[in-house]
Structure 1
Amino acid sequence: MKRIAVDLHYLPTLEWFSAIIDAEEILLFLKDQYQRQSYYNRTRILLANKVETLSIPIQGRRPRLPLDQIKIDNSQKWQAVHLRGIQSAYGKAPFFEFFFPYFQPVFENQPESLWEFNSRLLTICLKLLQWPVKVSVGDTSALSLEIEDQRRHIAPSRPFSERNFYQPIAYPQLFGLDFEPNLSILDLLFCMGPEAGNVLKSSAKKE
């Protein structure tokens, strides 16, 4: 069984999913420390004129707390901003009307915990991709040489081309003449629907 330790990102990038393409189990670690300037609370979508980063506001100054203690700042009404952005970006996408209803209630439920919010969204993404991968919450003391540890590898500070997980495979997008790679999984799901999994398999770099 191939087991991979990963970070729990917000609506992860295509690189993130390409990196776990052949995993039978992924392990998430709720006691890992929250990292600023990471994908834990941000994702990227394609609007008509630009790529937009959606960021979830976090309470407090965010000292080095474990992920399960990170609380979302719901006083900023960010959910409406994110939902409006997603609708503007993908409202006319071929599979938007089929897949958006899975995501909308999670946003509207006033999530307090970043960990719980990201976990629910990941569960939906894996369901829509029809991936049977097992998702477990791990303990760092249980890490072994047989577990591939990808944590801290995928970060916005470095381009995906510097890592060995993802090679862009173009698919039809709503906006722009040039293909925009490595957006949120939402872009692929809304544009390609049931074919999203096949695109990801083709996008995974072969060792």
Structure 2
Amino acid sequence: MSIDTILIHPGYCMPISHYACMAQANTVIFEALDNYQKQSYRTRTKIATASGMLQLTIPIKHNRTSKKHQLTFEVQLENKFHWQRDHWRSLKVAYQTSPFFEYYEDSFEPLYTTVYDKLIDFNLACHETIMECLQLEKDSIYTEEYFRNPKPPMTNLRHLITSKKEPDYKLPEYHQLFHDKHGYLPNLSILDLLFNEGPNALSYLENVDLSTMIAQNH
């Protein structure tokens, strides 16, 4: 399935569902002018570990002095916590024995040793690294206005950023490192697919049925 243009939120090492949509779209538009919402994939990603699913969450600075909502592109990271160090350690422990972690390790480690001030800058850096590892080239731009009701040829997929009560997107299963312990864990971070499937990850994404993801918009 090929779609022309998708409107989607940037997130932290986004779920497989996001990258399946991006792999099958001609153009990707990232929403930057929405109001920041808590408890979403903007600041969290889910990985598989020996103990089960683990959620990694980025701490942000909350705007306590203003009654106005923060826009996505304004959100700042709370770097007084060693969250990058902790996240990288978690990723290494979880995936160091996966088939392709060592192959991609040098690409991802700089993301966790470089200091970023804004959430959107860190998320974009993660996205660019992931796209490079997938060898997936797409035109990606950011919104310059807020589209309340996007019109064709733009497909609104902003709902995918919600991490609570996530629908079953009917994603095909692939080999996961701890499947024998916890069963198959669906729609984890794209990193899980990449570290387990390596170069086969792009073919997987290009063959996902997007109908359930698009249907959630209606």
Does 111-120 or 135-144 show the bigger shift? 135-144
Deviations 1:149-196 (A, max 9, x none): 1113441112232xxxx3221211111322111100000001110000
| Alpha-carbon contact 2:5-2:154 (below 8 Å) kept | yes
The alignment status of 1:174 with 2:177, answered yes or no, reads yes
The alignment status of 1:74 with 2:73, answered yes or no, reads no
Identity %: 28
Query: What's the Cα RMSD here?
Result: 1.8
- Indicate the SS of the match to 2:155: strand
Partners of 2:208 and 2:103 lie apart in 1 by: 24
Partners of 1:132 and 1:24 lie apart in 2 by: 10
> Aligned AA for 1:40?
R
| Alpha-carbon contact 2:33-2:146 (below 8 Å) kept | no
- Indicate the SS of the match to 2:121: helix
Gaps of 5+ in 2: 213-218
Gaps of 5+ in 1: none
Determine the structure 1 residue equivalent to 2:202.
197
Does 82-91 or 16-25 show the bigger shift? 16-25
1:19 to 18, 21, 31: 21
Q: What are the equivalent positions in structure 2 for 1:9-88 lying under 5 Å apart?
A: 9-61=11-63, 64-88=69-93
| Paired residue total | 203
Partners of 1:168 and 1:144 lie apart in 2 by: 27
Determine the structure 1 residue equivalent to 2:154.
147
**Alpha-carbon offset, residue 203 of structure 1:** 2.7
Partners of 2:146 and 2:109 lie apart in 1 by: 36
- Runs of 4 or more consecutive aligned structure 1 residues displaced over 6 Å after TM superposition: none
TM-score with structure 2 setting the length: 0.86
- Indicate the SS of the match to 1:33: coil
**Alpha-carbon offset, residue 41 of structure 1:** 0.3
Does 73-82 or 14-23 show the bigger shift? 14-23
2:122 to 106, 117, 125: 117
**Alpha-carbon offset, residue 61 of structure 1:** 4.5
